[in-house]
């Protein structure tokens, strides 16, 4: 669905205070994990984003009853599975839905899930998901873009991931949680597992319901099967990517904002780069003040890597900031080397960015307002940041992508003094 654009008048420093939204990327696998229990689950801190709504539509087709109990509190209940097949037309919208394969295998012993979709960039295969499950004894076949999986016995074995992968680690864990029958419990071990915060949060949620998963936050995770999980309540962690995007926006506009509800230990790589550029970042408990008022910021080189390294999901936003700094920066994305749909749009805003294979060379200067279109979530965040820092007025299109990762973005930025307006349909038609 095409949504109306944002109109942003740049050049105003962001000032004030704001609370960080809860993590979309942590909430999605936790919602899927609720399939493993027949009892009700209440989740606090679930952001109202299009990805969340799309996943709930898939969950509903599988038999999940869900109710919003408050603005960000969600009750989920799957007493009986209505289906073990996730509709292809829904799964194809978002990559995170592929973890349903592991969840259905755990709960029902059989699953059919289509090839996942999501942002239209990059080669993001699911081979590590499939190889791990096959190593544990699952039979998996692919036909016409869908995977059909069957549990043939108690899951056992060890799999060494060929790369650090958040989604495959989560899927492999989910596939083996409910693997105890008549005293015969499965046991699987994941080596070279992801230590990402979203993996840890999902494991903490599952363990709170009675799962037996050890080693989350390390590269070796062991899952010992249990016969059932209970219901319960859980609060999702803060969103480090939304927090990072907003912190970068403050630096790009040379503003000063205090963030509450932040887990700065999840953002050490970003904080280090901001400090290296000349931004002041002061921590006090769960609040963080980012101050760039009156500062001359200097270019820094940047290479993304798996957590706890610099997140690929903040790479485009950081490029927008570097486009306003003094000097030349070299940016390398080791995770998704072709994650650069922001480049041509930022060039239209006056950014000096050269691309050599998988390397971006950014020469800082000034930006000017124009019309730009987001092609994915994080490119959208970058274009918003560039527009906030630019001279003049910008129109940012592609809100259907931006709304996948940022809740009430226009209102949240306006609360910090930005001139941001969601265009009415008639105005949007005039600028297309």
DSSP 102-143: HHHHHHHSEEEEEPP--SS-S----HHHHHHHHHTTEEEEEE
| DSSP-based three-state secondary structure for 63 | coil
Q: Domain boundary residue among 235, 259, 287? A: 235
- Same domain as 227, residue 116: yes
Find the angle CA(148)-CA(149)-CA(155) to the nearest 5 degrees. 175
Structural domain of 88: 24-235
Counting every residue, how long is the chain?
Answer: 432
Are 301 and 361 in contact, with CB atoms under 8 Å apart?
no
Catalytic one of 41, 119, 133, 173: 119
Residues 6+ apart with CB under 8 A from 70: none
152's enclosing H/E stretch is none
Q: Domain boundary residue among 235, 257, 276? A: 235
Does pLDDT of 82 surpass 60? Answer: yes
Q: Sign of dihedral through CA atoms 343, 347, 351, 355?
A: positive
Please name the residue that has the structure tokens 């230990």.
265
- Same domain as 257, residue 154: no
Are 101 and 126 in contact, with CB atoms under 8 Å apart?
no
- Exposure class string for 212-234: b at 16+ Cβ within 10 A, else e: ebeebeeeebbbbbbeebebbeb
pLDDT digits (tens, 9 = 90+) for 24-60: 999 999 999 999 999 999 999 999 999 999 999 999 9
Q: CA–CA separation, 154 vs 123, rounded Å?
A: 33
Please report whether residue 1 resides in a domain. no
Does pLDDT of 411 surpass 60? Answer: yes
Structure tokens at 125: 């295969």
Does pLDDT of 103 surpass 90? Answer: yes
In the β-sheet with 15-19, what is the strand arrangement from edge to edge?
A: 15-19, 256-260, 287-291, 280-284
| 423 or 20, higher pLDDT | 20
pLDDT of residue 327: 98
- Same domain as 249, residue 194: no
Please report whether residue 122 resides in a domain. yes
Q: Sign of dihedral through CA atoms 89, 93, 99, 103?
A: negative
Does pLDDT of 119 surpass 60? Answer: no
How many C-beta neighbours within 10 Å does residue 54 have? 18
How many C-beta neighbours within 10 Å does residue 413 have? 23
What residues does 143 pair with on adjacent strands?
Answer: 146
Q: pTM for this structure?
A: 0.93
- Same domain as 123, residue 52: yes
- Same domain as 356, residue 317: yes
Nearest to 30 by CA among 275, 326, 232: 232
Q: CA–CA separation, 177 vs 173, rounded Å?
A: 7
- Same domain as 373, residue 326: yes
Q: CA–CA separation, 185 vs 191, rounded Å?
A: 20
Please report whether residue 173 resides in a domain. yes
What residues does 304 pair with on adjacent strands?
Answer: 310, 333
Please report whether residue 119 resides in a domain. yes
Q: CA–CA separation, 186 vs 178, rounded Å?
A: 8
pLDDT digits (tens, 9 = 90+) for 271-316: 999 999 999 999 998 899 999 999 999 999 999 999 999 999 999 9
Q: CA–CA separation, 55 vs 100, rounded Å?
A: 10
Q: Domain boundary residue among 235, 256, 272? A: 235
- Same domain as 340, residue 255: yes
Class of residue 3 by CB neighbours under 10 A (exposed 0-12, middle 13-18, buried 19+): middle
Nearest to 246 by CA among 288, 199, 283: 288
Q: CA–CA separation, 313 vs 320, rounded Å?
A: 13
| Tally of domains in the chain | 2
Mean pLDDT, residues 252-257: 98
Please report whether residue 120 resides in a domain. yes
Does pLDDT of 121 surpass 70? Answer: no
- Same domain as 192, residue 164: yes
Cis peptide bond N-terminal to 427, omega within 30: no
pLDDT of residue 96: 78
User: Is 119 a catalytic site residue?
Assistant: yes
Q: CA–CA separation, 383 vs 395, rounded Å?
A: 10
Q: What percent of the chain has pLDDT over 70?
A: 96
| Alpha-carbon Rg for the chain in angstroms | 22
Please report whether residue 121 resides in a domain. yes
pLDDT digits (tens, 9 = 90+) for 366-390: 999 999 999 999 999 999 999 999 9
Are 259 and 16 in contact, with CB atoms under 8 Å apart?
no
Give the rounded distance of the alpha carbon of 5 from its chain centre: 22
Nearest to 342 by CA among 319, 366, 361: 319
The CATH number that applies at residue 154 is 3.65.10.10
| DSSP-based three-state secondary structure for 359 | strand
- Same domain as 258, residue 143: no
Mean pLDDT, residues 404-411: 94
| DSSP-based three-state secondary structure for 213 | strand
Structure tokens at 268: 């050490």
- Same domain as 48, residue 175: yes
- Same domain as 203, residue 253: no
What residues does 22 pair with on adjacent strands?
Answer: 238
- Same domain as 136, residue 53: yes
């Amino acid at each position: 669905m095409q949504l109306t654009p944002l109109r942003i008048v740049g050049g105003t420093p962001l000032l004030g205070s704001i609370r960080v939204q809860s993590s979309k990327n942590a909430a999605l696998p936790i919602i899927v994990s609720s399939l493993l229990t027949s009892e009700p689950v209440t989740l606090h801190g679930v952001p109202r984003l299009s990805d969340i709504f799309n996943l709930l539509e898939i969950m509903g087709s599988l038999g999940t009853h869900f109710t919003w109990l408050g603005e960000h509190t969600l009750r989920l209940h799957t007493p009986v599975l209505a289906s073990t097949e996730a509709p292809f037309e829904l799964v194809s919208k978002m990559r995170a839905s592929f973890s349903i394969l592991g969840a259905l295998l755990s709960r029902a012993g059989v699953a059919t899930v289509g090839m996942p979709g999501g942002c239209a960039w990059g080669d993001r295969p699911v081979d590590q998901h499939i190889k791990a499950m096959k190593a544990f004894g699952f039979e998996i076949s692919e036909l016409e873009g869908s995977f059909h999986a069957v549990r043939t016995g108690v899951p056992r074995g060890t799999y060494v991931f060929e790369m650090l992968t958040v989604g495959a680690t989560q899927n492999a864990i989910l596939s083996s949680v409910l693997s105890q029958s008549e005293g015969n419990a499965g046991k699987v071990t994941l080596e070279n597992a992801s230590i990402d915060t979203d993996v840890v949060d999902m494991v903490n949620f599952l363990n709170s319901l009675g799962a037996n998963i050890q080693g989350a936050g390390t590269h070796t995770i062991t899952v010992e099967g249990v016969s059932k999980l209970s219901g319960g309540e859980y609060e999702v962690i803060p969103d480090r990517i939304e927090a990072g995007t907003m912190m970068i926006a403050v630096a790009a506009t040379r503003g000063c904002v205090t963030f509450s509800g932040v887990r700065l230990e999840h953002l050490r790589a970003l904080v280090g780069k901001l400090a290296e550029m000349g931004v002041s970042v002061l921590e006090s408990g769960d609040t963080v003040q980012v101050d760039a008022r009156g500062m001359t910021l200097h270019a820094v080189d940047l290479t993304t890597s798996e957590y706890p390294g610099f997140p690929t999901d903040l790479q485009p936003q950081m490029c927008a900031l570097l486009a306003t700094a003094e000097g030349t920066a070299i940016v390398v994305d080791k995770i998704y080397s072709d994650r650069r749909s922001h480049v041509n749009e930022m060039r239209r805003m006056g950014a000096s960015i050269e691309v050599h294979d998988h390397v971006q060379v950014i020469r800082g200067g000034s930006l000017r307002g124009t019309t730009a279109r987001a092609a994915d979530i994080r490119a959208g965040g970058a274009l918003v940041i560039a527009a906030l820092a630019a001279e003049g007025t910008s129109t940012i299109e592609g809100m259907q992508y931006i709304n996948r990762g940022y809740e009430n973005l226009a209102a949240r930025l306006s609360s910090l003094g930005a001139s941001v307006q969601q265009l009415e349909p008639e105005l949007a038609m005039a600028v297309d």
